[in-house]
Structure 1
Amino acid sequence: MTPRQQWRPGYPVAAGVFAIGMAGTTLPTPLYGLYRQELGFSELMVTVVFAAYALGVIAVLLLAGHVSDEVGRRPVLLCALGLSAASALCFIFEGGLPALFAGRVLSGFAAGLFSGAATAAVLELAKPGQEGRAGFAATAANMGGLGCGPLLAGVLAQYAPWPLTLPFLVHLGLLAVAAVLTWLLPETVGNPRRARLRPEGLRLPPEVRGVFTPCAVAAFAGFSLLGLFTAVAPSFVSRTLGVDNLAVSGAIVCTVFLGSTLGQLLTGRLGVRRALPGGCLVLVAGLVLVSTSLAVRSLPVLVIGAVCGGIGQGLAFRAGLTAVGAAAPPAHRGGTISAFFLVAYLGISLPVVGVGALTLVLGLRGAGLAFSGCVIVLVGCVGLYVLRRPPAEE
Structure 2
Amino acid sequence: MGRPTSTRRGKAAVIVLTAVCLAYAPIAFTELWPYARPGAPALGEWLLGRTVSPEFVADAVRDRRGPYERSLVPLIVHSVLGGLLMLLGPVQLLTAVRRRVRLHRALGVVFAVTVYASMAGAAVYLVRTPPEQAFSGAAFWIVLAVILVGTVGSITFGTLAAYKGFPDLHQRWLLLCYGFLMTAPLLRLQWGFLPTLYPGLSIQDVNRVAIMHLGALVSFGALLATRALDRRTSVPGLTGSWAPAPVMVLAHLAGAAGLAVLVPAFLGQGTAGRRLLLAYLVPYAVVYAVLAARAAGARRAGNGWAREEWRLHLAALLLAPAFSAVMVPVLERAMDLDRATALTSAAGIGCGMLAYTAVTVVSLRVLAGRELLRRRPPRTPPAAPDPVLVAAAADGKEGR
Normalising by structure 2, we get a TM-score of 0.31
User: Is the radius of gyration larger for structure 1 or structure 2?
Assistant: 2
Between the two structures, name the one with larger relative contact order (CA 8 Å, sep ≥ 6): 1
